[in-house]
Structure 1
Amino acid sequence: MEQPLAPFSVCNLAAVNLAQMADKETKTVNFEKLRQTVETGVRMQDNVIDATPYFLEENQKQALGERRVGLGVMGLHDLLIYCETEYGSDKGNELVDKVFETIATTAYRASVELGKEKGSFPFLVGETDAETASLREAFTNTGFMKKMPEDIRENIKEHGIRNSHLLTVAPTGSTGTMVGVSTGLEPYFSFSYFRSGRLGKFIEVKADIVQEYLDQHPEADPNNLPEWFISAMELAPQAHADVQCVIQRWIDSSISKTVNAPRGYTVEQVQKVYERLYKGGAKGGTVYVDGSRDAQVLTLKAEENTFDEEIEAPKEETKPHVVLVDTINEIRSTDVTIGSEVGNTCPVCRQGTVEEMGGCNTCTNCGAQLKCGL
């Protein structure tokens, strides 16, 4: 489980579509629009707590007592592409840090204002004023809250706060795919795949954001796109981990993220990735080694692995293509279902099968966590 919860806690999730926060003309982030969206999201999710029909009394007591919400994101990679910034690069991580700092500080300020309007979450209210002050003091001295601006901490001490937790990053496998953006905080697994037509001809299909770029730049070579169109398997595992750690600094709960490693990654190298995540402050992590679920003899050492753990994984000369054979037969007769349920074909890579792994519906090919039963 990637989300640590108290007994009977309830997941109340929403996601900001970061692709919509890009100013495509200036190739920058519209931070004012982002702030307004986050403020609206926090108020909406807080209202959901009261509107939810709870089937168990314990769930209702916990949900109304802590008023936990989890505002996350989708379309992070789209935002970086619109800003012509490479995912996982130093410049990219600086921008990601600023984006999530804005989300976090805006969410907490919005919750403080809701606290003034509607009252703090009950678990932060003591039987006496002195006890309430003590609870607020303890709340603002947690490791996460110490990173927050002083005005937020002081306002919580004075006025309280509406929600005990405000942020998370869920996989958004279904919703992200539905609106046509990268899911959660993940980079695109692939920017192109082949769809077979009813006449047996394979047609190459570009991801929406790639097609948009090619429409705007007809002179561009679709097989040699700019560096900001980097895909998940072209990114070094260390870069995957570092992006997660940059974001974790501004997330009070946990994060769903898959570190994609190339075929042949050794046990020792996987261990170093987990150590990197731990030292970077991540609360959890998933490393998926390409091909690790194929029918093959398990070994502790991979002979085909020739790169050191601090060297980026070798890049393929051409972008990987994902083959999707879902339209050879008539729609009503095909048994291929794209989705996030167990047995479906993965909506991210369009190649793997969705299986339940560790509480999450996960792709057997790309390792994407599509849906978690929290």
Structure 2
Amino acid sequence: SKISARDLENEISKLQQESGYPYIVNIDTANRANPIDGTITMSNLCSEILQVQRPSHINNRQEFEVLGTDISCNLGSTNIPNMIESPDFASSVETAVRALTYVTDHSNIEAVPTVKHGNDLAHTIGLGGMGLHTLFAINQMEYGSPESVELTEAYFYALNYYTLVASNKIAKERGKKFDNFENSKYATGEYFDAYIQAPFQVTSDKVAAIMSKVALPTADDWRALKEQVAAHGLYHQNRLAIAPTGSISYVNETSASLHPITRLIEERQEKKTGKTYYPAPMLSNETLPYYKSAYDTDMRKVIDVYAAAQKHIDQGMSLTLFMRSELPEGMYEWKEGRTNKMTTRDLNILRHYAWKKGIKSIYYVRTFTENNDEVGSNECESCSI
């Protein structure tokens, strides 16, 4: 049976308006960018984990004839404002990679044999980032401005390179690569060629000043890394993923994940302590003008920022769309002469824009209603912690 593509799009948007679901995975986009041999078929709940899996074969006695591979989420997030001030960015990244490697090596997941098997073979981690909006605010950048997009790309360009260096170093030390490495685009060198031919370069003086303590890799750096990886491999099949984060961001005095803050002062219901009130990190007269709520931000700007990061992230990102049931006047040009109420058409357009910009997945659609309720605000506790 067939279904009209337009009808399907509208049905997805209706559901997203009502509940925040379904999550979206642009599976062809994910697979085109996948450097690993095999096909990505699904994501996790938070939509940031995109890895190749292999099915198991089970006989009539419910015994494994072929043990497949499934995924363990070994996640961590860098504090972006702190990281770019590190006296040794490469060493800080290596420390984070080694910490997550310890998690992959010591996780007790024998109760789920396919997850244990996949974890043992792939050693996958998901290092991400939080505090991006805080970084913009303390440097007096508007979220989604050209400079903020370039700063985002510069950071994740560097993070990608130095996680590869760390993974290669661990592979060298242990004499061990991830399973099926030889059939990956890392082994053939194809993954590195784009960076060698056209390495990222900062054009903004302001971004260059902010990133001055981070040595951005050159074409020669990528060429040398390509040779090292060909010789010694990588320990981790996957390295980078952007989790939504939550409590860890508050503890770190920084904004959650890569998205804008939702309120200048958030009211949070903590299980043991009750209600807590959390002001935007580093809130001051200087940062206040740059702390615009996600609900008052054009979602195309959010997508632009995430797309800049996605270029250098081998897995996915928990990208949430923050909408109002009554959209701000003049925010979206296609609303001119139409109702300002959010419609399925608005969500259709934004999903298509995300796809066009190379976004692999979309997490929740959160809607702020006129009576101050948030629709679609429940999160996976494991990812958002």
Do the aligned partners of 2:240 and 2:314 also contact (CA within 8 Å) in 1? Answer: yes
Change (3 A) 1:281 1:244: same
Secondary structure of residue in 2 paired with 1:72: strand
Superposition deviation, residue 136 in structure 1: 6.3
Superposition deviation, residue 227 in structure 1: 3.6
Aligned to 2:92: 37
Superposition deviation, residue 38 in structure 1: 1.1
Superposition deviation, residue 150 in structure 1: 3.1
Do the aligned partners of 1:87 and 1:228 also contact (CA within 8 Å) in 2? Answer: yes
Secondary structure of residue in 1 paired with 2:361: coil
- Measured on the aligned residues, the alpha-carbon RMSD in Å equals 3.1
Deviation string for 1:294-326 (max 9, x for gaps)? 99xxxxxxxxxxxxxxxxxxxxxxxxxx8xxxx
Deviation string for 1:195-222 (max 9, x for gaps)? 9xxxxxxx99743421xx24xx7xxxxx
Give the total of aligned pairs.
Answer: 274
Aligned to 1:239: 301
Superposition deviation, residue 96 in structure 1: 0.9
Superposition deviation, residue 178 in structure 1: 3.4
Aligned to 1:290: 367
Do the aligned partners of 1:174 and 1:370 also contact (CA within 8 Å) in 2? Answer: no
Change (3 A) 1:120 1:272: farther
Secondary structure of residue in 1 paired with 2:229: helix
Once residues 194 and 175 of structure 1 are traced to their aligned partners in structure 2, the CA distance between those partners, rounded to angstroms, is: 16
Secondary structure of residue in 2 paired with 1:209: coil
Change (3 A) 1:282 1:145: farther
Matched, 1:121 2:177: yes
Superposition deviation, residue 30 in structure 1: 2.5
Secondary structure of residue in 2 paired with 1:16: strand
Superposition deviation, residue 158 in structure 1: 1.7
Aligned to 2:21: none
Match of 1:99 among 155, 158, 164: 155
Once residues 317 and 176 of structure 2 are traced to their aligned partners in structure 1, the CA distance between those partners, rounded to angstroms, is: 25
Change (3 A) 1:226 1:136: closer
Once residues 206 and 50 of structure 1 are traced to their aligned partners in structure 2, the CA distance between those partners, rounded to angstroms, is: 38
Aligned to 1:173: 246
Matched, 1:161 2:234: yes
Letter in 2 for 1:44: A
Aligned to 1:57: 113
Aligned to 1:17: 79
Letter in 2 for 1:113: K
Once residues 185 and 194 of structure 1 are traced to their aligned partners in structure 2, the CA distance between those partners, rounded to angstroms, is: 20
Change (3 A) 1:113 1:59: same
TM-score by length of 1: 0.65
Once residues 239 and 188 of structure 2 are traced to their aligned partners in structure 1, the CA distance between those partners, rounded to angstroms, is: 14
Aligned to 2:354: 277
After the TM superposition, list the runs of 4 or more consecutive aligned residues in structure 1 that deviate by more than 4 angstroms. Answer: 134-139, 144-148, 368-373
Do the aligned partners of 1:42 and 1:111 also contact (CA within 8 Å) in 2? Answer: yes
Once residues 171 and 295 of structure 2 are traced to their aligned partners in structure 1, the CA distance between those partners, rounded to angstroms, is: 44
Letter in 1 for 2:232: H
Change (3 A) 1:193 1:255: closer
Letter in 2 for 1:245: A
Once residues 46 and 122 of structure 1 are traced to their aligned partners in structure 2, the CA distance between those partners, rounded to angstroms, is: 12
Change (3 A) 1:291 1:137: closer
Once residues 237 and 278 of structure 2 are traced to their aligned partners in structure 1, the CA distance between those partners, rounded to angstroms, is: 44
Superposition deviation, residue 277 in structure 1: 1.1
Matched ranges for 1:316-327 at <5 A: none
Secondary structure of residue in 1 paired with 2:255: coil
Superposition deviation, residue 74 in structure 1: 1.4
Aligned to 1:185: 258
User: Relative to structure 2, which stretch is displaced further, 100-109 or 79-88?
Assistant: 79-88
Once residues 363 and 256 of structure 1 are traced to their aligned partners in structure 2, the CA distance between those partners, rounded to angstroms, is: 13
Change (3 A) 1:155 1:188: same
TM-score by length of 2: 0.63
Matched ranges for 1:210-249 at <5 A: 210=283, 213-214=284-285, 226-249=288-311
Identity fraction in percent: 23
Deviation string for 1:65-123 (max 9, x for gaps)? 11110001111111222222222111111111111111111111111111111133341
Once residues 172 and 4 of structure 1 are traced to their aligned partners in structure 2, the CA distance between those partners, rounded to angstroms, is: 17
Superposition deviation, residue 44 in structure 1: 1.5
Do the aligned partners of 1:121 and 1:162 also contact (CA within 8 Å) in 2? Answer: yes
Superposition deviation, residue 40 in structure 1: 0.5
Matched, 1:363 2:382: no
Superposition deviation, residue 64 in structure 1: 1.5
Once residues 291 and 207 of structure 1 are traced to their aligned partners in structure 2, the CA distance between those partners, rounded to angstroms, is: 19
Letter in 2 for 1:4: L
Change (3 A) 1:34 1:54: same
Deviation string for 1:167-217 (max 9, x for gaps)? 00001123223333211111111113589xxxxxxx99743421xx24xx7
Once residues 84 and 34 of structure 1 are traced to their aligned partners in structure 2, the CA distance between those partners, rounded to angstroms, is: 23
Change (3 A) 1:60 1:99: same
Deviation string for 1:324-371 (max 9, x for gaps)? xxxxxxxxxxxxxxxxxxxxxxxxxxx648xxxxxxxx516xxx7765
Secondary structure of residue in 2 paired with 1:290: strand
Do the aligned partners of 2:127 and 2:239 also contact (CA within 8 Å) in 1? Answer: yes
Do the aligned partners of 1:73 and 1:169 also contact (CA within 8 Å) in 2? Answer: yes
Once residues 137 and 35 of structure 1 are traced to their aligned partners in structure 2, the CA distance between those partners, rounded to angstroms, is: 20
User: Relative to structure 2, which stretch is displaced further, 171-180 or 42-51?
Assistant: 171-180
Match of 1:4 among 31, 40, 50: 50
Structure 1: 5+ residue stretches without partners: 22-28, 126-131, 196-202, 218-224, 296-321, 323-350, 354-361
Once residues 193 and 172 of structure 1 are traced to their aligned partners in structure 2, the CA distance between those partners, rounded to angstroms, is: 15
